[in-house]
Structures are given as C-alpha cells and as structure tokens.
A and B are shown apart, each in its own frame.
Chain A
Amino acid sequence: MSDFISVFQNRQDMLLETIWEHLQISLISLIIAILIAVPLGLVLTRYPRVAEPIIGISAVMQTIPSLAVLAFLIPIFGIGTTPAIIALTAYGLLPILRNAYTGIKEVNPALKEAAVGMGMNSMKRLTKVELPIAMPVIMAGIRTSMVLIVGTTTIAALIGAGGLGKLILLGLDRGADVNLILLGAIPAALLAILLDFILRGFERVSKKAGFKSFIAMIVIAILVVTTPLLINTSQKADIIIGGKLGAEPAIIINMYEQLIEDQTDLNVELEEGLGKTSFLFNALEQDSIDMFLEFTGTALVTYLDEDAKSNQANEVYEQARDGMMEEYDMTFLEPMEFNNTYTVSTTKKLAEQYDLKEIGDLKEIEDDITAGFTLEFNDRYDGYVGMQDVYNLDLDVKTMEPGIREKALTKGEVDIIDAYATDSYMVELDLVTLDDPENLFPPYQGAPLLKAETLEKYPEIEDVLNQLGGQITDEEMRQMNYKVDYEDKSPHDVAKSFLIEKGLLER
C-alpha cells in the first residue's frame, strides 16, 4: 500500500495528464459514435430491411480485437489520437446503434398509430413521441458503449495516443508492476463510474425534457473536449522520434533528443512506448514519426525477410543498412555497441541442476520443462521456430506478455524464457543465459532508422547521431535499464547523465 502511495506521489503529474488524455479520447470517440449511431439507428427504423445487415456489420467490427483495428489503421492514419479515436468509435458503435434501433422499434405500435392518426409528421412523431419513449433504451446503449470505450482506450497508448493505458503498459513492461498497473486501472474505472453517473443524470432529465436534453448532453461533451484543443495549439516539432515500449528505447531516444536539440536548431518530440514493431515501422512509412530506434537483427528478419549472411555484428549491420536503403529508401545510421539479442534464459538453480550451458542441452529435459515465450519470439525464425529447426527442440510453450515472463519464471510456472540480453531483470533476478553455439540469434544492435528524405532535409543530424555509434556496452545498457525499471528514474535523466559522463553533452 505504501508502495502504491509513493508511486502515486511520484507520478501525480503524469497521472493527471493521462487521465485528461483518457477522458478526451474516450469522450471524443463516444460523441462520434453517438453522432453516427443514433441517427443511423433512427434512419434504419424507417428502412427495416437493411437494418439487420448494417447492425450485423457493426457487430463484426466489435469482434475484431481493438489492437488489430489499430494495426489496420496505422498505414492510413499513422499513430496518435486519430487512429485511436477511429478504432474506439468503431468499437463503441454497436451498443448505441442496436439500442437506438431497438428502442425506437419497440415503441408500442399503438402509440405510433396514435401519433400518426393525430396528424404528426414523421419528424414530429420522432421528436415528440418515439425519441422520448426510446430515450432510456438509447441511453442504456450509450452507457454500455461508454464503459467499453473507456476500458478499451487503455490500448490507445500502444499507438501513442496517451491515456491511462500508458501507466498500465508501463507497469506490464516492468515485470507486471502492480502499483503502476493499479495507478492506471483505478482511475480508468473511476472515470467510467463518473461518466456513468453523469450519463444517468442525463437519462433522468431526458425522460422529462426528451430530445432537448440529449442535444444538450452532446453539446456539453463537445465543449468539454474541444476547449483545451483550441487553447492548446502547440507547434509541431521538426523531428518526431518514436520508441518501442520499454526502458531501453526510451533511454536511447532521449539521448537522440538531447543530442539533436543541443547541437542543432531543430525541435524534437518523442513518442515513447509505442506498442509493436510493426506499429512503429508503419508509422515511419506513413510519416507520423520521422525516426525510431531499430535493431539490426529485426530489420533483417522482419522488414527484409532475409537470413543474416554472417554472425559478425558489423556485417549484419551492413547487410541491414544496404537492404533498408534498397528496399525502403531508408537510412540506418551507425549502431551502438551493445547487442540486445534474444537469449534463452533460466534460473541459476535450474541451470545447475541439469548442468545447462547451451540451448542444445535443453533437448535432454524437453519433456519435463515448460517455456514462457513472448508471442513474437514464438513466431520468429530467429526465435522458437529456429530453435525447433536448429536445435531440434520440441518444448511445451506458453506464450505470454514480455512483462509477465520473468514473474512466471521466478514463480516456477515456467522453466525457461526468452529474454533480451540487456534487459534489466537479468541483473535483478540473476538469470543465466544459455549459449547459442549455432548462432541462431543474429546480432541485435540498435541504431536510428529514418527515411533517406528526412536526412536530406536535415543533413546535420547524421553526424550528431553517429556520435553514439559504437558507444554503450551491454553492461552500461543493462545498468541504465535497471535504473529506469527498478529505481524508477526517468529515462530523460538517465540518458542525460550518461551523455554527460561520456562528454557528449555539457553539464
């Protein structure tokens, strides 16, 4: 509990900011969903034949995992709030649409006939009779949708839209840090309860005032959401640097930022904590970001679909650099020294018990152990697919989120995990890495990846960023990650003190 309070105190500013972002994204999505679904639902009651197929389509949209919707949208809308709002809107449509349609449709036919028979036209009938009577049902749909949207907005953080998901994802990334997760989850729940309370108030009013209160509700919501947008028109940065979720990318891109801003006149903005590799790459192609930290091995395997021709780090880099230039017209600047390759790790105890030194040694005990791999590792050739091939292994695999692996390992739920060589928990948990004599895992050295045209526009950044080329050893990286993950230092400060120490930045 005291941990939670200290986490809360340390991150008060971030909490307020994320709550506000969360509220904004949720409300905008909800409003758009209402503005689409309510009129559509009303129109559909006049065309019942097309109603079921259209409601069916919105039901299908709901079944697509929201993360997948986000992935689809990045190539078109990039990262940030726009694709998040689109995805959330699509997500929130169904309950409102269905309830608006059903609500109007279920209005007692005798009442409709009375309205027609008394000489009301279609519009009058809608506003005076059908809408007020259907209002509680419509409001119930809006409330359901609101809860769905507020909950799902946590995922928006994966594509840089911010919100309370930022805290939750950070918590997950840090080995399921319960306090951080709660710090994100509790306000999200409170937000949902608060909004539900407000909506219930509107519902009560709407029974009396009918349609007017509904309009009033939407107008108020729009004002709440847009006012800060009108005031807060910050200038767009020259360069936006993206980073994957996790301490390491955050530290490195903070170094980029500080170096560029120190040594050039350019403005830099950071988009930290973006969800998946493909999100970043799509965002780069789509120009939502200008640069991000990518690893040589990933570039080869994921983007170029090639095998490493050599296991020499510099040759892998050259192969990746040339390939990226040829295939995507992107420049891969000089890599840093540390090699954040995949490793297969286990606890010291297990390693001693079975005398494990190499990956191949697992063959002996493959029926007795369980592996905890990330989805990505499980699916890659320079991952478990290759392990099956090269080391002839057939393990019992449980796939899980990166942040949960090491917990599962220390709790004994799994016996081996995939890990990154520079991950901070290698230090914290004192894990043993198994050697890879067949060099299945290619070297993974980090370097800035950017479009060639960006470099043409700002040629000065090449020299600035290349200062980091060949810098930062495995051990230095591990220590910096440890500071962020376990000592709760900010990536910005860790980056800064490193740069100062190396004489790259003035104090």
Chain B
Amino acid sequence: MIEFDKINKIYPDGTKAIKDFTLKVNEGEIVTLIGPSGCGKTTTMKMINRLIEPTSGNIYIDNKDIRAYNMHELRWNIGYVLQEIALFPHLTIEENIAIVPELKKWKRRKIWDRSKELLEMVGLDANKYRKKMPRELSGGEQQRIGVIRALAADPDIILMDEPFSALDPISREQLQTDISKIQKEIKKTIVFVTHDMDEAMALGDRVCLMKAGEVIQVDTPQELILNPKTQFVKDFIGERKSPWQTAVDVIADQSEKFVISKSDYEKDTYPREGMFIIKDESNQYVGAVVDTKSIEITPLQNDMPLYKATEAIQTSKHPLFPVVKNNRLVGVLSYQVIVDYLKSKTKLENGVIQS
C-alpha cells in the first residue's frame, strides 16, 4: 500500500510542479496516473522510489515513511519499468533480469530458476532468450524483458513510466493484454503512468487524472466517464478516438435493471420472463437466465473495445451481455445502451453529423 500525504514539489525557480497531492494506492491495485504533459504524473511516480524528493509532505509504504527505509533496499523492493525500456546493452537478457536479485544477494540457482519462470510467464522460451543480447530482440520483446526485470526480485510494488508508449500499436496492445493477465496472477500494487486515455482506462482499477500538479479526479474508469467532476475531465476523456474504441465497461448499463442476485435465483424470486444476469453477494458473475432457463454466455471483458464487443454480440441470439472485470460484474451491455451511447457521442452541427 502506497500513501501520498500532501506532497508538494517546488523547483528552485519557484515552479510548483506538484501541489498538495494526496492519494492512496491499495494493495494489489493498479492506479494509472494520467494527464496532459507537464502535469506532474511522472514526477509523482518517481517520488515513490525516491528518484525525486518532494519539497514537503510524506509518502508511506505499508504505513512506514519511505525515508525510514534504506534507500537502496527500498528500490530493490520496487520494480521499475521505464519508457525507454533501458535494458543494459552490454548484458545478456538473463544478466539484465538478474540485476536486482544479485543486488539482493540471491543464490545463483534461485536466480536461474526465477529468470526461467519469468521468461515463460511472458511467453518467451527461456533456453532461447537467456543468452541473447537486448539488441537481438524486437521492441515488444525488449519491453517484455523490461517488465520481468522489474518483477525479478518479486517486489510488492511496481512503477511503470509510460512503459508502452515507445512501442508500435500491435506490440502495445499485446503487452497491455499481458499485463492484465499477469496482474491477475501476481496481484502487485502498480502505479502506471500513461498519456493514453484508453490505456489508463483499460489497465487501471482506478484512474488518477492530474492537471498542473494537482489531482482533479480519482475514480474507476467508469465513474470518470459517467460522472466527470469538471469540464476538464470531460474534455480530457472526450479527447478520445471514435466511440467504437471505447471500452465496454464505460458503456455498460449499471442500473441492475437486468441483474438478479444469486439468492433470488435460487429462491426463484425474480420475473418469469426476460433475460437476467446473475451475480453473487461479492458481485462475482455467476451466470445468466432466459425465461428462467439457465444459458451459456461468454461475458465481455471490461477493457474490450466496443467494435470488438459488437462482433460477439452480432453472432449471439441473446440481447444482453454481462461485462466483467476480473470476473466481477461491472455492468450489462445491451443493444439499447450501445445505441444510446453512440447517439450521445455523435454531434450534429447544422444538421450534419460530425462523427
């Protein structure tokens, strides 16, 4: 758990880079920091591993002030993924991965096993890649190594500084998927800086939108879209591409009009007609029924863009689709909400559709 308490950063020339920044990142949570360039998102992140020191305020990790830790040991326990990837060009892939474990004086055997495990986790053949030099790898592969290098010594916290911005769109999407998948297994506390709203929404459990060194809004992606606190938030989110690229959880209906609880289902206390999605007490997705008959339906992942979701919807005979995040039900997608959403995103100007 990371806690920022009234952090300020004032540069010698008087520029206030960060103003009264307060944020709590929970254990096992991904918080994405986003905002226009110069908003202080990277500065804020680098304060966690003390690459940058705040002018005032405190940062706590597990309720202990970070200045109370030995600085190098603190960093050994915080994985760090850089935008520039920054694999050491003179070291092999294995040696790159082994850096922090070596600093922590792990046994050779343990490092060897760990690097094998990590390489396989990101789908790279350990025997083939171990002895390669970074320049022999593609950009996407390199950043994959960058990510597992940060994970190598099994830190509790990972910092990611626009890790995918230097990659081509295909590699980027692939890595985003990988990260989501890996996070399901490893459950790290991740602070992820990005300038890509889609990425922030797709990866973040919560998104922290910053402007000029201040927090404007911290919320789940959905809340951010549905209830933007200020015009700036609206504009910033609005600066997105086609509505077809919006993630489905943003569009999904959260009214629970078509949701029933597991106990209702078991007790049969729900309408006899129509389609319903079932969830349990902890909001976990359980299944769906049509006219009281249980059916098989593949739930949509929360970060799936709309245009992909429609492909699934078109081939299905059902009108409703559950949207889940880590198997937790976050909403229901129907033709109705899709049409409403698309309509709301389409501006008419003098009777001409703007897009």
Instruction: Give residues in A with beta carbon < 8 Å to B.
Output: 108, 110-111, 113-121, 124, 128-129, 132-133, 207-208, 210
Contacts and interface: CB of A to CB of B under 8 A. Distances in A.
A117 B74 contact: no
Contact of B80 (A118, A133, A210): A118
Contacts of A119: 71-76, 100, 103
Interface stretch (B85-93, B122-130, B198-206, B262-270): B85-93
Contact of B88 (A111, A116, A124, A207): A111
A119 B100 CA distance: 8
Among B51, B76, B84, find the residue whose CB has the most chain A CB atoms closer than 10 A: B84
Nearest to A206: B90
Interface string B186-220: 00000000000000000000000000000000000
A117 B84 contact: no
A111 B84 CA distance: 9
B82 A114 contact: yes
Interface of B: 49, 51, 71-76, 80, 82-86, 88-90, 99-100, 103, 159
Given A110-B82, A113-B82, A129-B88, A118 B75 contact: yes
A108 B84 contact: yes
Contacts of A110: 82-86
Nearest to A132: B90
B103 A113 contact: no
Contact of A113 (B71, B73, B86): B86
A117 B49 contact: yes
A117 B75 contact: yes
Given A207-B90, A210-B90, A113 B51 contact: yes
A470 B211 CA distance: 101
Given A114-B88, A119-B74, 5 more contacts: A113-B86, A116-B51, A118-B76, A119-B73, A129-B88
Contacts of B72: 119-121
A108 B73 contact: no
A113 B49 CA distance: 11
A471 to B, nearest CB: 72
A119 B49 CA distance: 9
B103 A117 contact: no
A169 B51 CA distance: 60
A119 B159 CA distance: 14
A124 B51 contact: no
A129 B84 CA distance: 16
Contacts of A114: 80, 82, 86, 88
Nearest to A117: B80
Contacts of B90: 132-133, 207-208, 210
A118 B82 contact: no
A99 B337 CA distance: 65
Contacts of A111: 86, 88-89
A450 B163 CA distance: 79
Nearest to B76: A119
B338 to A, nearest CB: 43
17 contacts: A108-B84, A108-B86, A110-B85, A111-B86, A114-B86, A117-B49, A117-B82, A118-B99, A119-B71, A119-B73, A119-B76, A120-B72, A120-B103, A121-B72, A132-B90, A133-B89, A208-B90
Contacts of B99: 118, 120, 128
Contacts of A124: 103
A118 B84 contact: no
